[in-house]
């Protein structure tokens, strides 16, 4: 229900002053967390713990004000927005993740964890406060919303997440196949430079090889200590894995990422030019309207003069 008080609250929450104030509080919180990493005395530690409670109170008040500023409090938790589209003559509903809803859930989750941690500190388990603090440090990510340039970087990163996920799945599949092969080739043994005794250990060893961290030493160690397979088979096992993951896969990944970013930039440029053309057309239309208004005014003046001349 909209009232004058609710409208004033909405104006306050959506004002630049309110956003800047919260950003300054987040920066101060980040500085305090950094200072707490130093070895402090008991009195200073207590002082910074009290500051933690103050920050929790400020952030909790912010969340409450933002929830109350919505037309309906439930709107604060709307993560998706729907839109009607026509595909092949049929109307369909598409769901689109909203940036506003994502950050609302992000802030609300951190506040809930912080409040739980605070009450656990006082009543139940003091160690939970440290866990809550670890989650609250992620609130610094809200500083990405300070400038438009940071928002653009954030959108670019979000747009490549599906590509990164697909690439991670590809590497996971390749590593899983090579881990199974390695466990059978090396009899599930543990060596000086690597460990193929289990699937988890094999993954860690192959990740080390993938990052080219002393991979040749691992290959030489296994070639010297494994007699069930010829030396050339062991060498081809590691060389093929390095070529497929560290060389081919990563180069393909870079090429796909570059192509994706280029396509996004081209879309932005096209959109910018279309917006500029629309603005130019609007300016031309407004200038034409102004000329018509001026002509109408001149006609009115001429008609008024004619009326005066026609009067006896």
Identify the CATH number of the domain in which residue 258 sits. 1.10.287.70
User: Is the same domain home to 108 and 199?
Assistant: no
34 and 104 in a single domain? The answer is: yes
The verdict on 102 and 222 lying in the same domain is no
What is the C-alpha separation between 230 and 235, in angstroms, rounded?
9
Q: Are 245 and 218 in contact (CB under 8 A)?
A: no
> What is the spatial distance between Cα 114 and Cα 98, in angstroms, rounded to a whole number?
25
Tell me whether residue 204 is in a domain: yes
Q: Is residue 286 part of a domain?
A: no
Q: How many CB atoms lie within 10 A of CB 69?
A: 20
171 and 73 within one domain? no
- Count of CA atoms in the C-beta half-sphere (13 A) of 36: 18
User: Last residue of a domain, which of 159, 177, 208?
Assistant: 159
**In this predicted model, what pLDDT tens digit does every residue of 120-144 receive, in sequence order?**
555 555 555 556 666 667 777 777 7
In a domain, 24, yes or no: yes
Q: What percent of the chain has pLDDT over 70?
A: 73
Q: How far is residue 186's CA from residue 195's CA, in Å, rounded to a whole number?
A: 9
User: Which residue from 244, 236, 240 is spatially nearest to 171, judged by alpha carbons?
Assistant: 244
Neighbours of 84 (CB within 10 A): 8
**Residue 109 shares a structural domain with residue 126:** yes
- The domain that contains 17 carries what CATH number? 1.20.120.350
pLDDT at 240 over 90: yes
The answer on 155 and 167 residing in a single domain is: no
Q: In degrees rounded to 5, what are phi and psi of residue 212?
A: 60, 30
Q: Does residue 103 belong to any structural domain of this protein?
A: yes
pLDDT at 65 over 80: yes
Confidence check: pLDDT of 209 > 90: yes
What DSSP string runs through the chain? ---HHHHHHHHHHTSHHHHHHHHHHHHHHHHHHHHTTS---HHHHHHHHHHHHHHHHHHHHHHHHHHHHSSSGGGGG--EEEEEEEETTEEEEEEEE-HHHHHHHHHHHHHHHHHHHHHHHHHS-THHHHHHHHHHGGGGGGGGGSSHHHHHHHHHHHHTHHHHHHHHHHHHHHHHHHHHHHHHHTTT-B-SS-B-SSHHHHHHHHHHHHTTSSHHHHHHHHHHH--SS-HHHHHHHHHHHHIIIIIIIHHHHHHHHHHHHHHHHHHHHHHHHHHHHHHHHHHHHHHHHHHHHHHHHHHHHHHHHHHHHH--
Residue 293 lies in a domain: no
> Quick one: 8 and 154 in the same domain?
yes
Tell whether 55 and 109 lie within a shared domain.
Answer: yes
pLDDT at 100: 73
- Residue 310 in any domain: the answer is no
In this structure, is residue 297 part of a structural domain?
A: no
Q: What is the mean pLDDT of residues 195-205?
A: 92
pLDDT for the residue numbered 9: 86
Last residue of a domain, one of 144, 159, 174: 159
The reply to whether 289 falls in a domain is no
Residue 81: give the domain boundaries.
4-159
Answer yes or no: pTM beyond 0.75: no
- In angstroms, rounded to a whole number, what is the distance separating the alpha carbons of residues 23 and 25? 5
The pLDDT tens digits for 264-276 are 777 767 766 665 5
138 shares a domain with 178: no
Domain boundary among 118, 142, 159: 159
> Residue 228: CB partners within 8 Å, gap ≥ 6?
185, 187
Same domain, 194 and 225: yes
pLDDT digits (tens, 9 = 90+) for 169-192: 989 999 999 999 999 999 888 888
In this structure, are 70 and 145 located in the same domain?
Answer: yes
Note whether 271 and 219 are same-domain residues: yes
Percent of the chain scored above 90 by pLDDT? 15
Number of domains in the chain: 2
């Amino acid at each position: 229900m909209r009232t004058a008080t609710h409208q004033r609250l909405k104006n306050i929450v959506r004002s630049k002053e309110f956003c800047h104030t919260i950003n300054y509080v987040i920066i101060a919180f980040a500085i305090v967390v950094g200072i707490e990493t130093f070895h402090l005395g008991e009195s200073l530690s207590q002082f910074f713990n009290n500051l933690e409670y103050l920050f929790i109170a400020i952030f909790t008040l912010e969340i409450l004000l933002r929830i109350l500023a919505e037309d309906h409090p439930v709107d604060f938790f709307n993560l998706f927005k729907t839109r009607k589209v026509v595909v092949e003559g049929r109307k369909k509903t598409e769901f689109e993740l909203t940036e506003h809803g994502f950050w609302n859930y992000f802030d609300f989750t951190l506040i809930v964890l912080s409040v739980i941690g605070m009450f656990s500190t006082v009543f139940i388990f003091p160690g939970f406060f440290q866990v809550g603090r670890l989650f609250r440090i992620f609130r610094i990510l809200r500083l990405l919303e300070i400038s438009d340039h940071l928002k653009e970087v954030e959108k670019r990163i979000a747009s490549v997440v599906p590509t990164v996920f697909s690439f991670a799945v590809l590497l996971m599949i390749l590593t899983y196949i090579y881990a199974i092969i390695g466990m059978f080739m090396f009899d599930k043994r543990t060596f000086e430079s690597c460990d193929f005794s289990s699937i988890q250990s094999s993954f860690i060893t192959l990740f080390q090889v993938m990052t080219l961290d002393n991979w040749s030493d691992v290959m030489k160690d296994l070639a010297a200590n494994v007699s069930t397979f010829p030396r050339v088979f062991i060498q081809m096992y590691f060389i093929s894995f390095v070529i497929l993951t560290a060389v081919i896969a990563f180069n393909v990944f870079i090429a796909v990422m570059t192509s994706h970013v280029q396509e996004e930039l081209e879309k932005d440029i096209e959109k910018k030019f279309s917006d500029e053309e629309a603005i130019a057309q609007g300016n031309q239309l407004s200038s034409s309207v102004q000329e018509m208004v001026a002509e109408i005014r001149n006609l009115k003046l001429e008609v008024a003069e004619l009326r005066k001349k026609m009067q006896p």
